[in-house]
Amino acid sequence: MTFDFGGLTSYNSPRLNMSMQYSEKTPMNADASNRPAAPAHVAFIMDGNGRWATHRGLPRTAGHRAGILNVEPVALSLMERGAHFITIYMSSTENWKRPVEEVSAIFDLLVEWLGEAAPRLADKGVQVRHYGRREPLPAALLKQLGSATACSPPNPSLVLGLAINYGGRAEIVDAISRLARDRVTADAIDEDALSDAMYTSGVPEPDLIFRPGGELRLSNYLLWQAAYSELYFSQVLWPDVRDEHLDEALTAYWSRNRRFGGLQARA
């Protein structure tokens, strides 16, 4: 299934306008199924894998396996509902504090999943991108991310952003370093310049950030980009997120009044 990008030929539109163009075109119900439509960009925090496993008497890695296997169905469901960008927080710059066995099991699962899923996602018009610091990710994972990116379609229906070894603060620091390295002068530094220097350069800001797992915080996720995102928190654990939970989140999203600091709702 392909999607109309509204005549846009580039993702490099002004940050908020880009998001608006998509949102304004999106009806409440995406299709004949009567399911709520998705806005342009939905971001998730992959939370609850460990508890999902513990509740079943399984090792935490079984929860991470169930979690990674839920990425594709969620992404494809939202693509069918009209989303063009899905971003998933899979590991943070702070998650290195976890036991080394768990961290390396997560990276092994990612390598395995990318090798298996990336060609299929590419066939479905999904472009994979990595947001985060490459150092000190294992070479096998960097290689698999490179292959997934290389086999991605150039004109995708969906951009699937994988936030791996990602930190919102680290991203801002890296963006500023990049501007300094490129010798951008102080008077040329504005919000657009900084946005363009982020890992997410060219991607509109998330319209909706969905955190399953019951916690009510962003945990260093998309700190720059989330300025006007709608936040949705749910008790459901990530591996259990299904269409019905997406329906609930999207229904909540469409009931919000996004004013972006003005007096009138824009989307």
Helices (H), the chain: 15-25, 49-55, 60-69, 71-80, 100-123, 139-150, 168-181, 191-197, 243-255
Determine if 39 is a binding residue for ligand FPP (CB under 6 A): no
How far is Cα of residue 169 from the mean position of the Cα atoms in its chain?
17
User: Can you tell me the distance from the alpha carbon of 143 to that of 127, in angstroms, rounded to the nearest whole number?
Assistant: 16
User: Can you tell me the distance from the alpha carbon of 222 to that of 233, in angstroms, rounded to the nearest whole number?
Assistant: 16
Q: For residue 49, indicate whether it is catalytic.
A: no
Judged by CB under 6 A, the chain residues 49 through 68 that form the site for ligand FPP are 49, 64, 67-68
**Of the candidates 264, 246, 202, the residue with the CA atom closest to the CA atom of residue 36:** 246
Name the residue with the smallest CB distance to ligand FPP: 219
- Per CB under 6 A, which region of 45-53, 183-191, 192-200, 241-249 contacts ligand FPP? 45-53
- Per CB under 6 A, which region of 90-98, 121-129, 226-234, 239-247 contacts ligand FPP? 90-98
Q: Which of 29, 31, 34, 47 is catalytic?
A: 47
Exactly one of 2, 215, 259, 265 binds ligand FPP (CB under 6 A); which one?
215
- Per CB under 6 A, which region of 5-13, 89-97, 129-137, 239-247 contacts ligand FPP? 89-97
Q: For residue 47, indicate whether it is catalytic.
A: yes
User: Can you tell me the distance from the alpha carbon of 213 to that of 99, in angstroms, rounded to the nearest whole number?
Assistant: 20
Site string for ligand FPP, 93-122 (x = CB under 6 A): -xx----------x--xx------------
Question: Which parts of this chain interact with ligand FPP (CB under 6 A)?
Answer: 45-47, 49, 64, 67-68, 89-92, 94-95, 106, 109-110, 215, 217, 219
